[in-house]
A and B are shown apart, each in its own frame.
Chain A
Amino acid sequence: MSTSETPTRGPARPGPYVVSGILLAVGIVMPLVVPLYAREDPRLFEIPFFYWYQMLWVFIDAFLLWIVYAIVTREDRRRRESVRGLGASRAADARPGEAGDRK
């Protein structure tokens, strides 16, 4: 039977989470290291470095999060399938569409 204690996901592998953690940390720390970018040059379209560096991180952070999303959801899917696969009939009852995809 299932209760609120029934695991929703199998055990985690550390690898994907360590890599994701590093990428997220980069995305948080790099836009905050002010001494790195509190300067005028080089300018881009005549805009001082201070301004365009910080706006550049909008794109870099979006890109980093996209990678992290791919890593984390992949691992997440694996962990879910590992518990749902244990009771094949139960899982099939709950999510008929997914049963055939699991090979």
Chain B
Amino acid sequence: MTGISVAAAAAPAKPIDWIALTVVIVIFALVAVMGFLAARWRVKPADRGLKTLDEWGLAGRGFGNWITWFLLGGDLYTAYTFIAVPAAMWGTGAITGFFAVPYTVVLYPIVFLLMARLWSVSHRHGFVTPADFVGGRYGSRSLSVAVAVTGIVATMPYIALQLVGLKAVLSVLGLGSGTNAFMADLPLIIAFVVLAAYTYTAGLRAPASIAVVKDLLIYIAVIVAIVWLPSHFGGWGQIFDAASTKMSATNPVTKAAVGTIIPGATSFNAYWTLALGSAMALFMYPHSITGVLATKSRNTIRRNAVVLPLYSLMLGFLALLGYVAIKAGTVPVGVDGKINPQLVVPQLFLDNFPSWFAGIALAAIAVGALVPAAIMSIAASNLFTRNIYRDLIKPDATPAQEARVSKVTSLVVKVGALAFVLLMDQSAAINMQLLGGIWILQTFPSIVAGLYTRWFHRLALFIGWAAGIVYGTWAAYNVVNPVTHAHFGGSIATIPFTNIPVYIAVTAFAINAIVSVVLTLIFRAVKVKDGVDSTTVSDYGADETDPKVADLEKEISWLEPGPDAPIR
């Protein structure tokens, strides 16, 4: 703990680092130009203007291995992750921070297993959202709306958190200390207005093209940091010693240790359920599924599952930078002069690298906020358009109307997220995101079981979903922060009637699954009316060369069916 006193002396004043700021602004402007140009990237002349959801919201469903790798990498490993994971490591150690590594490792076998089937059935039926699939599979409007609303509500705070990440970068750069609230937030507002404009114009193509730049910058920043910083601070041994000293100290309020370097037996269950529950939930988020459905073939997502773990390795190193910051004595002070753990990684870069390189790293994080924010807003808009506007308000909406509604909704969603961050306390966004993770996992039974079996009854799944949501919300509300005594103080609670602490989402999921199974048995026994399944077994194995169902139906109405009828 030698470095702290040295760095603390310089902490209160927060001058603007002009070189770093200039680098950030230049990269930001470059990315904005790319975003607008993307409106014509890989677009056939006939599709100019992106007048269908397939074109605007799924970029023509044509992304191959490389673009998908960058797109999903930028989509799943968000700026907030880059900010929050090292912040958690810096603050309380392994349990709340490092679980992100096993989470993003066990994620890929799950993705490999599930997503090719979802791609196939969506390809055949032209599904754009997970709720489209649930609606088609179970013939249940209420279930598809439940999935859509869950997706939208869970995504909104996630977008807001990207703004929190962006704000952290701006704050470290010394921006946001203006005399009035509007001036303080102006850089954030400008960034988001530009983002909204190019997302409106270019749809999913904008974040896809930007993701390439962002991911390359992030890799450069992390590799340089992880090669240079540890040796500069005396090697990993000393870094872990410093972290260990900090974590084993006693927190004056809770009278417990500040954190843990290596979890003890009491937190084993919390650790693995956090990792597994988060991994199961991630590809239920609409923005992840948007990335999957934008690929051009059934196996693109599987090939990507093999190579995407490289991002998890980078995330692991980023997490360890939280410990490096402890050893380095980084003091993450915001423009308001208060300690904010989220600033720890941006501050670490600014303290220990030349301004121009710190600028590149900070720009990478800032642009890393824009990519997922764009994809999330597109995904939420698609859900609204397809499963609320079309299904409930205007059943005969044309593809052009759908695209128009979705574009406008994406603006509304972004303004909503911006208002959320500007008007409400930052902890509100974090609490909502915590709840969002619990809620989104409750769509798992409907979506995932539906990929393999039509055994579940639609009403049973709906009631199971509701039970999971209610339990999860209640349990999260009852977690009280020991320091501030606020509700929604964390995502760990004991399983009811036991004293085993686990991730609340996993308990809620178990309740959801049990209710769904039991009620299905009952409803089947008493023969409650079930919905019509518009999918067939062959849909789930279809690849890109198999015809779409709409084309098959057209063919049936046009052609006299005969033994020599062409396949399409």
CB-nearest residue of chain A to B104: A58
B235 contacts A34, C-beta separation under 8 Å: no
Complex Cα spacing A87 to B271, Å: 53
A90 contacts B567, C-beta separation under 8 Å: yes
Please indicate the chain A residues that have their CB under 8 angstroms from the CB of B33 in the complex: none
B303 contacts A8, C-beta separation under 8 Å: no
B94 contacts A32, C-beta separation under 8 Å: no
Residues 221-254 of chain B, each 1 if its beta carbon lies under 8 Å from chain A, else 0: 0000000000000011100100000000000000
Q: Would you give the shortest CB distance from A26 to chain B, in whole angstroms?
A: 9
A65 contacts B546, C-beta separation under 8 Å: no
B110 contacts A28, C-beta separation under 8 Å: yes
Q: Is B180's CB within 8 Å of the partner chain A?
A: no
Q: Would you give the shortest CB distance from B549 to chain A, in whole angstroms?
A: 5
Q: Would you give the shortest CB distance from B331 to chain A, in whole angstroms?
A: 24
Q: Would A2 and B547 be within 8 Å (CB), given that A38-B268, A50-B94, A55-B316 are in contact? A: yes
Q: Is B108's CB within 8 Å of the partner chain A?
A: yes
Instruction: Name the interface size band of chain A.
Output: 35 or more
Complex Cα spacing A5 to B538, Å: 6
Select the stretch in B57-65, B340-348, B426-434, B557-565 that faces chain A: B557-565
Residues 50-93 of chain B, each 1 if its beta carbon lies under 8 Å from chain A, else 0: 00000000000000000000000000000000000000000000
Residues 372-384 of chain B, each 1 if its beta carbon lies under 8 Å from chain A, else 0: 0000000000000
Please indicate the chain B residues that have their CB under 8 angstroms from the CB of A95 in the complex: 545
A3 contacts B552, C-beta separation under 8 Å: yes
Complex Cα spacing A38 to B268, Å: 8
Q: Scan residues 51-66 of chain A and give those whose CB is less than 8 A from a CB of chain B.
A: 51, 54-55, 57-59, 61-62, 64-66
Q: State which of B98, B272, B305, B555 has its C-beta within 8 Å of the C-beta of A65.
A: B305
Complex Cα spacing A68 to B546, Å: 23
Residues 1-27 of chain A, each 1 if its beta carbon lies under 8 Å from chain B, else 0: 111111111000000000000001101
Q: Would A32 and B306 be within 8 Å (CB), given that A73-B299, A90-B567 are in contact? A: no
B538 contacts A35, C-beta separation under 8 Å: no
A48 contacts B263, C-beta separation under 8 Å: no
Q: Would you give the shortest CB distance from A74 to chain B, in whole angstroms?
A: 12
Q: Is B105's CB within 8 Å of the partner chain A?
A: yes
Q: Would A80 and B543 be within 8 Å (CB), given that A1-B562, A24-B113, A27-B109 are in contact? A: yes
Q: Would A54 and B316 be within 8 Å (CB), given that A2-B547, A32-B106, A47-B240 are in contact? A: yes
Interface secondary structure of B, over-half rule: helix
Please indicate the chain B residues that have their CB under 8 angstroms from the CB of A24 in the complex: 109, 112-113
Q: Would A48 and B261 be within 8 Å (CB), given that A2-B547, A66-B306, A94-B545 are in contact? A: yes
Complex Cα spacing A59 to B272, Å: 19
Select the stretch in B21-29, B186-194, B307-315, B392-400 that faces chain A: B307-315
Please indicate the chain A residues that have their CB under 8 angstroms from the CB of B276 in the complex: 28, 32
CB-nearest residue of chain A to B562: A1
Please indicate the chain A residues that have their CB under 8 angstroms from the CB of B261 in the complex: 48, 50
B262 contacts A50, C-beta separation under 8 Å: yes
B271 contacts A61, C-beta separation under 8 Å: no
Please indicate the chain B residues that have their CB under 8 angstroms from the CB of A35 in the complex: 265, 268
Q: Mind listing 21 A-B residue pairs with CB under 8 Å?
A: A1-B556, A1-B561, A6-B538, A27-B106, A28-B106, A28-B276, A31-B275, A47-B320, A48-B240, A48-B261, A50-B98, A50-B262, A58-B309, A61-B106, A68-B112, A69-B303, A69-B306, A89-B564, A91-B567, A93-B566, A94-B545
Which 10 residue pairs across A and B have the least CB separation, nearest first?
A: A46-B237, A1-B561, A46-B236, A34-B268, A24-B109, A27-B109, A9-B541, A32-B272, A31-B102, A94-B567
Task: Please give the residue numbers on chain B whose beta carbons come within 8 Å of chain A beta carbons, in ascending order.
Answer: 94, 98, 101-102, 105-106, 108-110, 112-113, 124, 235-237, 240, 261-265, 268, 271-272, 275-276, 299, 302-303, 305-307, 309-310, 312-313, 316, 320, 536-539, 541-543, 545-547, 549, 552-553, 555-556, 559, 561-568
New A-B contacts (6) at CB < 8 Å, excluding given A46-B236, A54-B98: A1-B561, A31-B106, A32-B102, A50-B94, A58-B309, A79-B541
